[in-house]
Structure 1
Amino acid sequence: MQTPITASAPPRTRYWVGALCVFLAAFCFALKGVLIKVGYGYGVDSIDLLTLRMLFSMPFYGGTLLWLSQRLPPLQLPAKQWGIVALLGITGYYLASYTNFLGLLYIDASLERILLFCYPTFVLLMNATVLKRRVAGLQWLALALTYTGILIAFLPHLTSGENTHMIWLGAFWVVLSGLIYAIYLVGSDTMIARLGAQRYTCYALLAAVVPTVVHNAIENGLHLAQFPLRVYGLGLLMALVNTVIPTFLMAEGIKRVGSSNASIIGSIGPIFTIVLATSILGEHISGWQFVGTALVLAGVFLIGWKGKK
């Protein structure tokens, strides 16, 4: 059901409402690494944190599906396509999230966000190789800028006296997370067109709850009632601020400004993470990291801008 501001607003107002949605979603997503780091401070491991986040998110997505079912016609999908939806949800919300959580065990939240922003380049390369879409010269420049920026931001950590093995391990998990998330995004195009963004997001996340809980049962025996009260508050905060709110904000933003413009606006995310990691976690941000971040953002901006053109 559309509100008056989205149904009858002039195009300029509609655009700025969408841009604000994407901007707020980027801030919420940027806070994720910081909250995960806070959770690790309580001695909670990756799969416990992810399980709490998913379980607290589940009622909101289930309630949204119920609300949508009363306003939209029922879905008529064959079993094979339901299987694809489930597989994509597991890919994007379980595998990509878990590898991201693992990476944050070993590297700072600010570096994690910079490395994770390689996923738009993965999407571009997958579209070129799988869907045979031509990569323009400006997009090759965007790839060069992005990976140069990642290299500049990453290399100082290897010469700063830190445990280089841990840095490489954390970087591996985060980059793998970006690759898996890119697979989820590329595979989601068709399903979003058939189900709608909100309904697809709900089904995808609910599908990911199952392997997350099974993983926790195997690794930790589902002992989720043993944490301090603050950990449950943190899990609820991650569910709302890092998952439920930004996914719906981003869906609404893309509907109003388009996916290319949304990717440009959303590229502000690493800047948010740097500010938050410095002020909340006390992480030290070097000048090289700022330079690398600027190059990564320039690359993502060019990818989105070329897509818009």
Structure 2
Amino acid sequence: MEKNNRWRAVVYVLVGAASYGVLSSIVKLAYAGGFTAGEVTGSQVLTGCLVMWLFSMPYWKRCRALTLRTMLKMVGSGTFTGLTGIFYYQSLQRLDASFAVLLLFQFVWMGLAVEWLFHRKRPGQMQVIGAVIVGGGTLLASGLLTGGQAVYDAAGIALGLLAAVCYTLFMYFSGRVAVEVPASLRSAWMLTGGAIVVLLVYPPQFLWNGSLQEGLWLWALVLGLFGMILPPYLFAKGVPSLNTGLAAILGSVELPVVMICSAWLLQEQPDGWQWIGVVLILAGVCLSESRAGLSAGKKIKLL
């Protein structure tokens, strides 16, 4: 039974990461439909928050047992979800979807920095090598070294890197904050934090300016599902049962999903060198977490 639970945790993280991978292409399509970053981000996070609270209804009575400190910790950690969306969606307005996600994948070395900063845990040799490989793979996948046709914008790159910082912190806290709280209820509280920060940055003008009637409601439902409901819920269920390194390796499935979706839906056709860069990035993620992954494999018999 315990082994089956761990396999389910692996599936949860894989599906959650793949959901994030689908997200960027859908956002670009929403922009092409004439909607702004504020409308897309705000409607998505509000929809996701409301749906998750409804989904967690069977656990509402357990809120009485939560301390104010626990609730604030969940809401506070959820703000990183909202900030990730704000920065990432702004970068998508300036960059190709396939390039923006490459910046997001800098969470590999940023995760090492967080561990060093919070726990004084210096990265090992394999982790440093893995981070260097990720950097090299990013250069290849971006097309900078091969004359690719992607659009490069300094502000877009900065926003993409800020999104990576927030995504790193979200992944860090998702497996550590209030793990005793049911996953759906914990996700609802975290999405509340995300909704608060997004709606402070982007007041919900879409509620009265007619955008919902013009089709924004459909994008809000789809983006809310893939961006605000499935990933936080599935990560909340899966990440606490897995080693952090193994979770990072599984989460890297997001990258090939993005590349495939951007080629299929947006006609952003990567060349052979860019695919080699993607393979290098995935290899770097696996290498940087190899020691943790092997340790997890001995423990849970997954690797």
Q: TM-score range by the shorter chain?
A: 0.7 to 0.9
Check whether the contact 1:156–1:288 (CA below 8 A) recurs between aligned residues.
no
Equivalent of 2:75 in 70, 83, 86: 86
Distance of aligned partners of 1:132 and 1:255 in 2 relative to their CA distance in 1, 3 Å threshold: closer
Check whether the contact 2:49–2:228 (CA below 8 A) recurs between aligned residues.
no
Match of 1:291 in 2: 276
* Matches of 1:87 and 1:247, distance apart in 2: 14
Check whether the contact 2:84–2:164 (CA below 8 A) recurs between aligned residues.
yes
Secondary structure of 1:110's counterpart equals helix
Match of 2:52 in 1: 61
* Matches of 2:178 and 2:35, distance apart in 1: 34
Check whether the contact 1:213–1:222 (CA below 8 A) recurs between aligned residues.
no
Check whether the contact 2:18–2:257 (CA below 8 A) recurs between aligned residues.
yes
| Bigger Cα displacement from structure 2, 190-199 vs 19-28 | 190-199
* Matches of 2:77 and 2:2, distance apart in 1: 36
Match of 1:50 in 2: 41
* Matches of 2:233 and 2:7, distance apart in 1: 16
Distance of aligned partners of 1:305 and 1:278 in 2 relative to their CA distance in 1, 3 Å threshold: same
Letter aligned with residue 77 of structure 2: L
Equivalent of 1:179 in 151, 157, 165: 165
The alpha carbon displacement at 1:100 in A equals: 0.3
The alpha carbon displacement at 1:106 in A equals: 1.4
Cα distance per residue 1:138-176 (max 9 Å; x no partner) = 111111111111122225289446654x2x332221111
Match of 1:33 in 2: 24
Distance of aligned partners of 1:71 and 1:163 in 2 relative to their CA distance in 1, 3 Å threshold: closer
* Matches of 1:224 and 1:131, distance apart in 2: 47
Give the unaligned 5+ runs of structure 2. 296-303
Match of 1:95 in 2: 83
Give the unaligned 5+ runs of structure 1. 1-8
TM-score by length of structure 2 reads: 0.86
Q: Please give the residue correspondences for 1:157-306 in structure 2 after superposition, counting only pairs within 5 Å.
A: 159-160=147-148, 164=152, 166=153, 168-187=154-173, 190-193=176-179, 195=181, 197-217=183-203, 223-227=208-212, 229-306=214-291
The alpha carbon displacement at 1:210 in A equals: 2.3
The alpha carbon displacement at 1:248 in A equals: 1.8
Check whether the contact 2:75–2:190 (CA below 8 A) recurs between aligned residues.
yes
* Matches of 2:31 and 2:156, distance apart in 1: 15
What is the percentage of aligned positions where both structures have the same residue? 18
* Matches of 1:211 and 1:61, distance apart in 2: 17
Equivalent of 1:112 in 91, 100, 103: 100
Count of aligned pairs: 294
Cα distance per residue 1:62-93 (max 9 Å; x no partner) = 22443223468711244xx6444433322x12
* Matches of 1:85 and 1:10, distance apart in 2: 27
Match of 1:5 in 2: none
Letter aligned with residue 145 of structure 1: I
Match of 1:24 in 2: 15
Equivalent of 1:123 in 111, 133, 138: 111
Equivalent of 1:148 in 136, 140, 146: 136
Check whether the contact 2:9–2:237 (CA below 8 A) recurs between aligned residues.
yes
Letter aligned with residue 287 of structure 2: L
* Matches of 1:190 and 1:161, distance apart in 2: 41
* Matches of 2:38 and 2:139, distance apart in 1: 29
Letter aligned with residue 206 of structure 1: T
Letter aligned with residue 43 of structure 2: L
Letter aligned with residue 236 of structure 2: A
Distance of aligned partners of 1:162 and 1:289 in 2 relative to their CA distance in 1, 3 Å threshold: closer
Secondary structure of 2:34's counterpart equals coil
Letter aligned with residue 183 of structure 1: L
The alpha carbon displacement at 1:229 in A equals: 4.3
The alpha carbon displacement at 1:237 in A equals: 0.7
